[in-house]
Amino acid sequence: MGNIVLRSRALANMSDIEFEEDVDIQEDDLFEDPQEDADEALSENHLVSILRQLISSSGEIQILNNEHFYSMSLPVIKRRPNLDQLKKSAIYQSIKQASGYGADAGSPTTQFNVLGMLAQRQSGFGPKGGSFVQSDKCKISNLFVPNRTERSIVNCNSKVFCGRFSRDGSQFISASQDSRIRVFDASNSQYPLIRQIEAKNVSWSILDIDFSPDGEHFVYSTWADALFVSRMYNMASDDIHCLFLRPERQKFGVFTVAYSN
């Protein structure tokens, strides 16, 4: 019964639409091209007739939205595809070489040296008179720029506000809101934690931290009227020394610190 009522209403609405369109066409005949109006009216009436026929045959109207088109899941690949034929194609080799990979090298960083490339460019040697070609640029980018989503090396229970690499790049030091100063081994791709210390006089958070040029000490600043210095290889809370700045104002904080070169 519901389908019959819906069909009757839809057909009535279509009749009204056709009637209104006919009236509009008659009123605008004096201002528009009769041939164009006739073609347009014929096309619209044809579409209305098709829709009326579909409703008359089924009696049901189904309204679709975008969710029906985007809810389909991707197909499940049960077996890894064989790429041997693809790897032998010319387009695969062309893209591989343009991306910095050699014809036989499995990694773009195995058969080249950045210092050697810089020396050749400075001396004028190379495919373009010394300047880097696109494949050379891709090699350097693949070596230094991350090409995948990196993992977390440590999970802190608070925000990390600052971190610095040592001058030689072998260590990385970070300071977080939980008053912990952590030192990581940056020479290892896994960045293992090698030592940590609990900072002193941290009212809210450690704001900045820096290595000394020789890598033997570090300094950090907080919401306090002093800087705090400690040894790198004898990290203990009792070994932290305060360098009082004696400001004229009571509310004082040092937002950044840095050693001179």
pLDDT tens digits, 29-82: 444 555 555 566 666 777 777 766 666 555 555 555 555 555 567 778 788 888
User: In sequence order, what DSSP letters do the residues of 74-130 get, joined into one string?
Assistant: PPP--SPPP-HHHHTSHHHHHHHHHTT--SS-SSTTSS--HHHHHHHHHHT-STBTT
Degrees (nearest 5) of the Cα angle 235, 237, 238? 105
Does this model's pTM top 0.75? My answer is no
- pLDDT confidence band for 120 (50 / 70 / 90): confident
- The mean pLDDT of 226-247, rounded to a whole number, is 79
Which token pair is 5? 């009522």
| Maximum mean pLDDT: which of 8-22, 100-114, 199-213, 233-247 | 199-213
Amino acid 31: pLDDT: 47
